[in-house]
Amino acid sequence: MDNLTKIVEQQLKRKGFDGRSRKGPYGEEYLAISVVAMVEAVQVLKKTAGVVLIGLWAVENFGMPGFTLFYCFERRGTATLLLLEVHLVDNRALSIARDFPVANYFQREVTDGFGLQFDGAFDNRRLLLHESYPDNFHPLRKSFDGHAIEPVNVTPEREYCFRQFQGEGIYQVPVGPVHAGIIESGHFRFSVIGETVFNLEIRHFWKYRGLEKLAENKKPDQVIKLAETISGDESAANACAFAMAVEYISGVSVPRRAWKLRTVLLELERIYSHLGDLGGMAVDVAYPVGAAPFYILREQVLRWNAALTGSRFLKGVIIPGGLERDIPDVKLKELLVYIEEFKIPFDEALKGIYDSAWVIDRLETTGVVSPTLIPALNLTGPTARASGACIDTRIDHPYGIYGEIKPEIITDGDGDVLSRFKVKAGEIGDSLRLICDAVNIEADEPVKAVCQPKDGYAITLIEAARGQSVQWVYIKDGLIDRWKIRTASFCNWLAIEHAVIGNIVPDFPVINKSLNLSYAGNDL
């Protein structure tokens, strides 16, 4: 841990503010300060190189009546995690979105969920709750018991206010929330001059399920199943992140064999996710022949998932304390044989793309994500690495055995669709290596440790296929009191509003697929 907490504490002390820091079980630092001191702390953090806001959430009755806000800051490229803990006295806080722009999105989420207000916020529109939800309804408050609510009549005055543009030749193209084919709900409002997009505004949360609320007053063993439903193709990563939080709180040491097998599953999940993306990008530039080999390989990996765990999407196997059941060594050896067989058709499929000049022409310079957006919007995963960011949670905050079998950070500097294609292709190759390294680790002990939940709280970070996901778990009287989820998609969706600018509307599908963001993982 570097001295980021000390820097903030010393500055607050010089200004006459009190600040009490403590260490959490994940190694994170908590610093409890007042709302007024928060202004000074934010200025210090803004001026400190590499500091990014990666989360902001509210907790009700955390040690005292009322609401407490947690602002989670990461110092990129280090193990530093600082959580500013701010107890509110009147349900109001100060907006920090002008210093950390992604805070705007977090603040709108908190306002909808808890009814807290952020003074100085430049965007107070609803986020989670669409127009049909009644006023003064805040589903994450303890006072809401989950009963059915009556939708209100949506008048023109209640309708969501999209950004408006006027001028000769300007028109709008609304897409969604209902789409052709099998796809989740999302609305995209393009503003266009001629064929060129000059603004895009997205609107999600059409399928807001209230997962965080559903977890309240449930046992951790029950909530692990909810974690698997955050986003179906991130079941292993999200279940693992939740299990890690419970393990940290309870002081449980996960058996080495369990971490060996968890690593295999996490990397298999990354592989099949990226394979779908590579095939999807080829389809979206009208090259289904080039896409087919990737889809064939993806199906093979899904079948391997089922053979190893009984679930194509790796559900029902990762639990607090380790794994629900072991995977026989003979199966792991067979997996190593398959990995060698996998490499030949995979390399041939990549060659088929790279040798197709017209495909490269569609991918290159399309949908550029500027590196300047990475810290401002907290972009992570392949989206950030394809724009030159050398970040990976498996390295910056290593968990399990990733400290031993270090991943290679695959980067590219152009930030376009082709860069994201190359990064994901490279990560598939590295995941194959990591699986082999994990399988070859000698570990014969049981795969499950007794995990008796204890009261407390912990944060965990994990590198899912789409990027960094964050979970914060608070256990009280043996039950989940608060569960905060922030998937990589929540922040990465903001990148697409910038990536499409200067492109044409027909390029949107391939830009969207290259980012491969989860609707369900965003809407929760």
468-486 pLDDT tens trace = 999 999 999 999 999 999 9
pLDDT tens track for 281-339 = 999 999 999 999 999 999 999 999 999 999 999 999 999 999 999 999 999 999 999 99
Percent of the chain with pLDDT over 90: 92
Q: Is the pLDDT of residue 141 over 60?
A: yes
pLDDT tens track for 97-132 = 999 999 999 999 999 999 999 999 999 999 999 999
Task: Report which of 108, 91, 82, 99 is spatially closest to residue 30, judged by C-alpha positions.
Answer: 82
* Greatest distance between any 2 Cα atoms in the chain: 71
Residue 78: per-residue pLDDT: 84
Helix, coil or strand: residue 439 = helix
Q: At a CB cut-off of 8 Å and minimum separation 6, what does 447 contact?
A: 255, 257, 258, 261, 322, 323, 325, 326
Residue 517: per-residue pLDDT: 96
How many CB atoms sit inside 10 A of residue 332's CB? 17
Sort 57 into a burial class: Cβ within 10 Å, 0-12 / 13-18 / 19+.
buried
Helix, coil or strand: residue 499 = helix
DSSP letters, 73-118, are EEETTSS-EEEEEEE-SSSEEE--TTTSTTHHHHHHHHHHHH--EE
Is the separation of the CB atoms in 290 and 425 below 8 Å? Answer: no
pLDDT tens track for 18-47 = 878 899 988 899 999 999 999 999 999 999
DSSP letters, 35-62, are HHHHHHHHHHHHHSTTEEEEEEEEEESS
Q: Which residue has the higher pLDDT, 25 or 264?
A: 264
* CA gap 220, 247 in Å, rounded: 10
CA 153 to chain centre: 34
Cα dist from 456 to 68, 305, 318, 410, 478, whole Å: 16, 34, 21, 37, 9
Average pLDDT in the chain: 95
Residue 229 tokens, joined? 């439903």
Query: Where in the chain is CATH 3.30.460.80?
Result: 4-119
* CA gap 239, 86 in Å, rounded: 29
Query: Where in the chain is CATH 1.10.645.10?
Result: 211-363+391-490
pLDDT tens track for 196-231 = 999 999 999 999 999 999 999 999 999 999 999 999
Pure H helices in 211-328 = 211-214, 220-227, 235-250, 256-283, 288-309
pLDDT tens track for 56-66 = 999 999 999 99
Residues in the chain: 524
Q: Is the pLDDT of residue 145 over 80?
A: yes
CATH of domain 4-119: 3.30.460.80
211-363+391-490: CATH architecture: Orthogonal Bundle (1.10)
Q: At a CB cut-off of 8 Å and minimum separation 6, what does 442 contact?
A: none
Residue 319: per-residue pLDDT: 98
* Mean pLDDT, rounded, for 392-406: 96
Task: Name residue 172's beta-bridge partners.
Answer: 191
Going by pLDDT thresholds of 50, 70 and 90, the confidence category of residue 1 is very low
* CA gap 228, 307 in Å, rounded: 19
Q: At a CB cut-off of 8 Å and minimum separation 6, what does 495 contact?
A: 369, 373, 377, 379, 383, 515
Is the separation of the CB atoms in 484 and 110 below 8 Å? Answer: no
* CA gap 26, 105 in Å, rounded: 26
Task: Name residue 174's beta-bridge partners.
Answer: 189
